[in-house]
Structure 1
Amino acid sequence: MQSPYVPDRKDIIWLDFDPKKGREIGKLRPALVLSSQALNQQTGMIICLPISTSIRGGMLEVPLGDALNKPSVVVSNGVQTLDWKQRKAQFITKAKDHVYKEAVLKLATLMGVDQLLS
């Protein structure tokens, strides 16, 4: 018997972001998983960034390249912690290393991590 899927860091997955509130990103969409498989398994939650096909050219967007069948960007300021089982996570593909790194670095800068390290 095959083990059930547990999302892992760098996975691009389908995830249901509804219900949403206000200006949050909603609906069924891809997401980039930031948290480790061990943490995701233990908690039943993932830390992730939504992926959008609405490309606005903002400084917090990270282009996915050819990872999906439509031009898409990781929305690095849209970080969320979600229950991956209840939101029906399904594996799509793995993000390229440079995409993951750029998304995490943009999020870290947004959070002021660079100031903590200096």
Structure 2
Amino acid sequence: MRFGNMAYIPERGDIIWLNLALCCPITSNVKGYPFEVLLQGKQFTGAILSDHIKKFDWKVRKAKFIEKAHPPVLSECIEKLSTLIQE
């Protein structure tokens, strides 16, 4: 972290607000890829593509809540995603 005349540069562990969300897309075309996580929701069924993480400004895109993923589905997504970003 830098202060004074220097621009702030985030470091690992810093908590900052950007109005951005990181999301994984959902597809109805299940192919059995290693990073797919099967989703059997009330509104959506298919596969979450945990390796296709996207960022967007959720306020500009007017994001709206549809339904909540079951905890085991969320855990599997996080586990698969963590294999991509581990040190």
Q: Same fold (TM over 0.5)?
A: yes
Aligned-pair identity in percent equals 33
How do 1:14-93 residues align onto structure 2 when only pairs under 5 Å count? 42-65=17-40, 67-93=41-67
Alpha-carbon separation, structure 1, partners of 2:55 and 2:43: 26
Q: What's the TM-score, normalizing by structure 2? A: 0.73
Q: What's the TM-score, normalizing by structure 1? A: 0.55
Between Structure 1 and Structure 2, the one with more helix by share is 1
Q: Give the gaps of 5 or more residues in structure 1.
A: 1-38
Once the 2 structures are TM-superposed, how far is the Cα of residue 87 of structure 1 from its aligned partner? Answer: 1.4
SS at match of 1:64: strand
Count of residue correspondences: 73
Alpha-carbon separation, structure 1, partners of 2:76 and 2:35: 10
> In angstroms, what is the RMSD of aligned CA positions?
1.9
